[in-house]
């Protein structure tokens, strides 16, 4: 178990390192940030000054080395655009994304898993067929378009919900979040639904597939032969057996949504990190890109770690080993 | 005495693309408490489907279309779905063929068995675990208390089958249907389990229907034998009589093809051909094309003959040996 954790963390360090190299080389290949940063009308002298200040005149490996030295002193750098420390910048935006994504995956799980269970339990019923048809819509209709429809419907036509922004932010356990205020909830509900539809479709199909397969298994028949009622068979016997693929996809989706909720954030002008990363790529704001991506890698590592631990808890045949 | 299980005219049909297939055709038999009935037949003869039909576990597209199933006098088919469910596990239980698949891989043995206890009895979880341990001890599982904490993959096939049998025994049902429970096990384990089950039938007065394709196994172990072919019971009688004196040509064919009844080096007699597909049964007696005594008369539906405690469904039953 311990060796497993150590291996996992070591892997994470390697991934972070490799990723930072890729970002450095990538940004270097795209262009010189200085061209975006300063006024095109600035004199050659000012331009040269800026280049030297940021070290852009140095060869790439020297720039990278400086970056590493700073990181090990706890300094991820300063945003070239906003001119504030990137850590501060990213963490000022991150809670907004986190709360949006958590509400979205929550909605997806709470609706998607039971709907999938039902669709697999009675695959021939009309309701099951309707659920499956809707699930196809869920992950085939573009997110931004559904987002605009939601705004049109609920914000413009009905006028019951706001069209964008984060709303009032309250404090809960020292964390400022819009989940602490009613106004915050009214702002989060539309983007969260929008963000959840794809995941909901995915969870429905995955759960249904597992359920259909499990229903024909001998252990289910044996449970029925013992006289167990169907609801107990589904929730005590089947659900745990079919959870592994569900947890896997749930984890992956949680991670990728946290990292790349940008479409929904743009449509609903939600001040999250998705918007930040797109802006920083446009402006070649390298420190922001690097530290944001490091954060994403760390997130993925932790989510995968949690998924693996849940596997081991769900299925006694899974053993966590170091090395592999 | 009321029979523990009596089946009358049981018929189960499946709707397939090729039309309606009758997997179990007008099957009747009866088992007294404490007796073992061997239900023998080749693969596809409908013996397992008969078991599942009795349990009420036939799923779409299959359906029990006719017949009565009396479990200690109560007709299961007249009960509501809930009442039927309440009888399952309590009055009639089943053990399946493959012990590797019957137990839920992600739950502890104790939790699975406790669930089976508590569905029919209001007891504490602790009391249910105690009951489960007692049941494991009855089927001869050593250090039963520890086994309750194990997951199925930590037990051998034989152990898992004993767990399944113990689960079936939890409520001391009137009948246990055993669907080839030793087929997947080693011969030595098979012998142990057969001896265990025979002892249980005698001691607890449970009736047992032992579904098998293996006539050699059942001959030494069952009180009565019913031979199935193409969804019908073609011959019934006491185990001794049926083995010593088969009256249906199919039964004789089965007995003659058991290797242990022959000298080494002797050519083993075989029944020619294969079990017919249920969707394409030959006209008249379904065994006719493979039968060595068939004649023109066999093109009609075979009649049933009741011969002193025996029942044979055949146009030309074999003569009793002298």
Q: What is the residue range of B242's domain? A: 5-91+171-261+269-311
B119 touches chain A (CB under 8 A): yes
Contact between residue B288 and residue B232 where contact means Cβ atoms under 8 Å apart: no
Check which CATH number belongs to the domain holding B204 and give it: 3.40.50.300
Cα–Cα distances in angstroms (integers) from residue B151 to residues A8, A227, B118, B148, B156, in the given order: 27, 22, 20, 8, 11
- Residue B115 within a domain: no
Would the CA dihedral through B307, B310, B313, B316 be positive or negative? negative
In total, chain B counts a number of residues equal to 322
**Which of B15, B104, B164, B181 is the best substitution to test chain A (most A C-beta atoms within 10 A)?**
B104
- How far apart CA A198 and CA A193 sit, in angstroms, is 10
Q: Is B74 on the interface with A (CB under 8 A)?
A: no
Interface-testing mutation among A222, A236, A241, with chain B (most B C-beta atoms within 10 A): A222
Q: Is the bond preceding B61 in cis, omega lying within 30 degrees of 0? A: yes
- pLDDT tens profile A255-276: 888 877 888 888 888 888 888 8
3-class secondary structure, A235? helix
Asked if B88 and A224 come within 8 Å (Cβ–Cβ), the reply is yes
Name the residue among B92, B115, B86, B101 with its Cα closest to residue B6.
Answer: B92
Q: Give me the phi and psi of A198, to 5 degrees please.
A: -60, -50
- pLDDT 10s digit of each residue in chain B, 322 long? 688 999 999 999 999 888 888 999 999 999 999 999 999 988 888 889 999 999 999 888 899 999 999 998 899 999 999 999 999 999 999 999 888 899 999 999 999 999 999 999 999 999 999 999 999 998 888 899 999 999 999 999 889 999 999 999 899 999 999 998 888 788 888 888 888 888 888 888 999 999 998 888 888 889 999 999 999 999 999 998 888 888 899 998 888 887 776 677 778 888 888 888 888 888 888 888 888 888 888 888 888 888 777 888 988 888 776 4
Query: Between B157-169 and B109-118, two packed helices, what is the crossing angle to 10 degrees?
Result: 20
What per-residue confidence (pLDDT) applies to A281? 82
* Residue B13 counted as domain residue: yes
User: Cβ A218–B151 below 8 Å, yes or no?
Assistant: no
pLDDT digits (tens, 9 = 90+) for A215-258: 989 999 999 999 999 999 999 999 999 998 899 888 888 888 88
CB contact under 8 A, B105 and A232: no
Domain count, chain B: 1
Which chain B residues touch A218 with a CB distance below 8 Å?
Answer: 96, 98, 101-102
Answer yes or no: are the C-beta atoms of A244 and A314 closer than 8 Å.
yes
Q: Do A236 and B115 touch (CB under 8 A)?
A: yes
Dist. CA A25–CA A190, nearest whole Å = 39
Q: How many interface pairs between A and B have CB atoms less than 8 angstroms apart?
A: 76
In this structure, the strands spanning B232-238 and B62-71 are unpaired
CB B151 within 8 A of CB B107: yes
Residues of chain B in contact with residue A217, where contact means CB-CB under 8 angstroms, are: 101
User: How far apart are the C-alpha atoms of B191 and A314, rounded to whole Å?
Assistant: 36
Residue B101 within a domain: no
Instruction: Give the pTM.
Output: 0.82
Asked if residues B54 and B69 have their Cβ atoms less than 8 Å apart, the reply is yes
Whole-number pLDDT of residue B2: 81
Q: B116 and A232: CB-CB below 8 Å?
A: no
Q: With CB atoms and an 8 Å threshold, state whether A317 touches B153.
A: yes
CB contact B217 to A (< 8 Å): no
Give the closest-approach CA distance of A255 to chain B in angstroms: 27
Which residue carries 């997806």 as its tokens?
A108
**Beta-carbon separation of B119 and A226 below 8 A:** yes
Placement of tokens 């093809």 in the chain: B257
Closest approach of B111 to chain A, Cα-based (Å): 10
Using CA atoms, how far residue B229 sits from A74, A300, B8, B240, B243, in Å, is 80, 60, 17, 20, 16
Nearest chain A Cα distance for residue B33, angstroms: 20
Superfamily name with CATH number, domain A90-286? MetI-like (1.10.3720.10)
- Give me the residue from A217, A225, A232 closest to B101, CB to CB: A217
B299 belongs to a structural domain: yes
Mean pLDDT for chain A?
85
| pLDDT above 60: residue A323 | no
**Nearest CB neighbour to B96, from listed A222, A232, A316:** A222
Give the C-alpha distances (Å, rounded to integers) separating B207 from A116, A216, B34, B132, B173: 41, 28, 5, 21, 9
Tell me, yes or no, whether B139 lies in a domain.
no
Nearest CA in chain B to A312: B106
B9 assigned to some structural domain: yes
B134 and A CB contact within 8 Å: no
Residue A10 is inside which H or E element, if any? helix A2-30
B87 at A interface, C-beta within 8 A: yes
- What string of DSSP letters covers B88-139? BTTTEEEE-S-HHHHS-TTS-HHHHHHHHHHTTS---HHHHHHHHHHHHHHT
Instruction: Compute chain B's Rg from CA coordinates.
Output: 20
* Partner-chain residue, chosen from B85, B94, B106, that has the shortest CB–CB distance to A315: B106
Q: What is the pLDDT of residues B208-237, one digit of tens each?
A: 999 998 888 888 889 999 999 999 999 999
Reading phi first (left if > 0) and then psi (alpha if -120 to 50, else beta), residue A169 is in: beta
Which residue of B96, B102, B105 is in closest CB contact with A317? B105
What is the predicted pLDDT for the residue at A324?
42
From chain B, pick out residues whose CB is under 8 angstroms from the CB of A241.
104-106
Q: Quick one: tokens of B321?
A: 């040996």
Residues of A with CB below 8 A from B167's CB? 222, 226
Residue whose pair of structure tokens reads 């031979």 in the numeric block:
B227
Q: Are strands B207-212 and B62-71 parallel, antiparallel or unpaired?
A: unpaired
User: Which of A124, A227, A314 lies nearest to residue B89, judging by beta carbons?
Assistant: A227
Instruction: Please say if the pLDDT value at position A131 is more than 90.
Output: yes
> CA A150, CA A163: separation in Å to the nearest integer?
9
Q: Is B88 touching A (CB cutoff 8 A)? A: yes
Tell if the CB–CB gap between A224 and B57 is shorter than 8 Å. yes
d(CA B197, CA B269): 32
Q: Which residues of B touch A315 (CB under 8 A)?
A: 105-106
| Residue of B89, B98, B115 with shortest CB distance to A218 | B98
């Amino acid at each position: 178990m311990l060796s497993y954790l150590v291996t996992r963390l070591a892997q994470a360090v390697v991934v972070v390192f490799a990723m930072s190299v890729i970002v450095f080389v990538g940004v270097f290949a795209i262009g010189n940030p200085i061209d975006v940063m300063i006024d095109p009308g600035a004199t050659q002298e000012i331009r040269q000054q800026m280049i030297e200040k940021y070290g852009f005149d140095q060869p790439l490996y020297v720039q990278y080395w400086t970056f590493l030295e700073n990181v090990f002193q706890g300094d991820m750098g300063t945003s070239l655009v906003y001119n504030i420390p990137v850590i501060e910048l990213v963490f000022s935006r991150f809670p907004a994304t986190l709360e949006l994504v958590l509400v979205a995956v929550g909605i997806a799980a709470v609706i998607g898993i039971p709907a999938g269970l039902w669709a697999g339990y009675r695959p021939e019923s009309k309701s099951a067929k309707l659920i499956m048809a809707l699930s196809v819509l869920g992950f085939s209709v573009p997110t931004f378009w559904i987002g605009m429809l939601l705004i049109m419907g609920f914000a413009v036509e009905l006028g019951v919900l706001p069209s964008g922004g984060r709303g009032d932010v309250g404090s809960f356990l020292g964390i400022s979040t819009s989940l602490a205020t009613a106004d915050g909830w009214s702002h989060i509900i539309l983007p969260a639904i929008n963000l959840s539809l794809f995941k909901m479709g995915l969870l429905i199909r995955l759960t249904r597939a597992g359920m259909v397969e499990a229903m024909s298994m001998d252990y289910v028949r044996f449970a029925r032969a013992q006289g167990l009622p169907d609801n107990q068979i589904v929730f005590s016997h089947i659900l745990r057996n079919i959870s592994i693929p569900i947890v896997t996809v749930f984890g992956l989706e949680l991670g990728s949504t946290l990292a790349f909720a940008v479409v929904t954030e743009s449509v609903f002008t939600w001040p999250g990190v998705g918007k930040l990363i797109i802006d920083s790529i446009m402006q070649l704001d390298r420190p922001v890109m690097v530290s944001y991506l490091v954060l994403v890698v760390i997130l993925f590592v932790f989510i995968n770690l949690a998924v693996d631990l849940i596997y081991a808890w769900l299925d006694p045949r899974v053993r966590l080993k170091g090395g592999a | 005495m009321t029979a523990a299980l009596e089946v009358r005219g049981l018929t189960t049909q499946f709707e397939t693309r090729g039309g309606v297939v009758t997997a179990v055709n007008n099957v009747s038999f009866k088992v007294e408490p404490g007796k073992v009935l061997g239900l023998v037949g080749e693969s596809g003869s409908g013996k397992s489907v008969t078991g599942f039909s009795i349990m009420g576990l036939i799923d779409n597209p299959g359906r029990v279309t006719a017949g009565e199933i009396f479990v200690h006098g109560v007709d299961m088919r007249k009960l509501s779905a809930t009442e039927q469910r309440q009888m399952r596990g309590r009055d009639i239980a089943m053990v399946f063929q493959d012990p590797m698949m019957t137990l839920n891989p992600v739950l502890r043995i104790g939790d699975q068995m406790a669930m089976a206890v508590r569905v029919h009895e209001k007891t504490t979880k602790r009391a249910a675990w105690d009951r489960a341990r007692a049941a494991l001890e009855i089927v001869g599982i050593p250090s039963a208390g520890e086994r309750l904490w194990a997951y199925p993959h930590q037990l051998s096939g034989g152990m898992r089958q004993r767990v399944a049998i113990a689960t079936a025994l939890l409520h001391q049902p009137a009948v246990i249907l055993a669907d080839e429970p030793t087929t997947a096990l080693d011969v030595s384990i098979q012998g142990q389990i057969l001896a265990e089950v025979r002892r249980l039938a005698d001691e607890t007065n449970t009736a047992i229907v032992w579904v098998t394709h293996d006539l050699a196994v059942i001959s030494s172990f069952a009180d009565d034998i019913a031979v199935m072919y193409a969804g019908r019971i073609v011959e019934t009688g006491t185990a001794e009589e049926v083995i010593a004196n088969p009256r249906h040509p199919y039964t004789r064919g089965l007995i003659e093809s058991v290797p242990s009844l022959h000298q080494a080096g002797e050519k083993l007699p075989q029944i020619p051909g294969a079990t017919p597909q249920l969707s394409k049964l030959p006209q008249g007696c379904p065994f006719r094309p493979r039968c060595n005594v068939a004649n023109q008369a066999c093109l009609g539906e075979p009649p049933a003959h009741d011969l002193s405690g025996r029942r044979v469904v055949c146009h030309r039953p074999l003569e009793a040996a002298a």
